[in-house]
Amino acid sequence: MDRKELLDKLKIFNLNSYESKIWLALLMKGSDSAGSLSDLAEVPRSRCYDVLESLEKKGFIMMKIGKPIKYIAVSPSEVIERIKQKLKSDLNDQIKKINDLNGSELMNSLNKLYNSNNTSIKPEGMTALIKNNKNIESHLNYMMKNTGSILLSLDSKGLKNTIPLIKEVIKDSNKEIKIITDFDVEKKLVSEIMDFAELKQIEKTKKFCVTDNNAALFLTDQSENSMICLNSEYSVETLKDLFHAKWFSA
């Protein structure tokens, strides 16, 4: 891999152009001074010390004790471990901040605003289109976590993609789960599902999910899915009736 290609791929480490050039130069030399690295990496000397300080803070290099001051490259393997630890630490900090919002004055105010507006929305207005797999997965996660009952109707492809999410949601909870799917589901997957849910197979499966207070209609099976979210009591009860009609006729 040539230098230009290497520099381009170093973007994955969240390094800017000068940082990438200095770190690559130091990996080549092992240890070197700022002036020498500036020449080798073709980075202006006026910027070199700032870049080296940034790389040191990020854990890519270390300063060597002695005179003249030199810098030592940290091995790429160790850099990856440092990045992983930093990401985990940052994520835990963010999760703690979010969790601390529960019951806070801010959340009480936001919920008060949300609930006051919901009372004025008609059932036909409680409908939204959700696009993108990540957004759909997040909404399904919310639906399934905040309920005691899950009614799921999906074809074999959709079911296979959704089962990991269901297993994650119910890992530490006790929920009633009923699933309707088609006859194309692999026997191994059927056996796996039967460990935590009731399952029936029918032909021409409709694609939707119903929980205690929410419902969702899956529109496509393509890589870029879309889903209609229904929050009205009427919509939820209608889909529940449809599910039970299919369930008891199977």
DSSP 146: T
User: Is 212 in a helix, a strand, or coil?
Assistant: coil
CB contact set of 148 (below 8 Å; sequence gap of 6+): 175, 176, 212
Domains 3-77 and 125-249 share a fold: no
Report the chain's mean pLDDT, rounded to a whole number: 86
> What top-level class would CATH report for the domain 125-249?
alpha beta
pLDDT at 30: 85
In this predicted model, which residue has the larger pLDDT, 88 or 119? 88
Q: Which of 29-38, 152-161, 193-202, 224-233 has the lowest mean pLDDT?
A: 224-233
pLDDT at 118: 57
- What's the chain's length in residues? 250
pLDDT at 177: 93
> What top-level class would CATH report for the domain 3-77?
mainly alpha
Dist CA 11 CA 81 (whole Å)? 17
Claim: this prediction has a pTM higher than 0.85: no
Residues of the chain with pLDDT > 90, as a percent, come to: 26
Dist CA 115 CA 155 (whole Å)? 35
Conformation bin of residue 60: beta by default, left when phi > 0, alpha when psi is -120 to 50: alpha
Cβ(214)–Cβ(222) under 8 Å?
no
**Mean pLDDT value of segment 214-233:** 76
pLDDT at 170: 80
Q: Which of 153-167, 205-219, 221-235 has the lowest mean pLDDT?
A: 221-235
Other C-beta atoms closer than 10 Å to the C-beta of 185 total 21
Dist CA 243 CA 152 (whole Å)? 8
Residue 90 in this model has a pLDDT that exceeds 70: yes
**Mean pLDDT value of segment 215-235:** 77
Q: Count how many Cα atoms sit within 13 Å of the Cα of residue 130 in the half-sphere of its side chain.
A: 18
Confidence class of residue 120 from pLDDT cuts 50, 70 and 90? low
**Mean pLDDT value of segment 22-50:** 90
Dist CA 139 CA 122 (whole Å)? 21
Domain boundaries, the chain: 3-77, 125-249
Residue the block writes with tokens 């949601």 = 169
pLDDT at 242: 92
**Mean pLDDT value of segment 79-102:** 90
Residues of the chain with pLDDT > 70, as a percent, come to: 94
Confidence class of residue 5 from pLDDT cuts 50, 70 and 90? confident
Confidence class of residue 223 from pLDDT cuts 50, 70 and 90? very low
Confidence class of residue 17 from pLDDT cuts 50, 70 and 90? very high
Cα radius of gyration rounded to whole Å, the chain: 27
Dist CA 41 CA 38 (whole Å)? 5
**Mean pLDDT value of segment 11-28:** 90
Confidence class of residue 119 from pLDDT cuts 50, 70 and 90? low
**Mean pLDDT value of segment 106-119:** 79
Residue 189 in this model has a pLDDT that exceeds 50: yes
User: Is 210 in a helix, a strand, or coil?
Assistant: strand
Residue 121 in this model has a pLDDT that exceeds 60: no
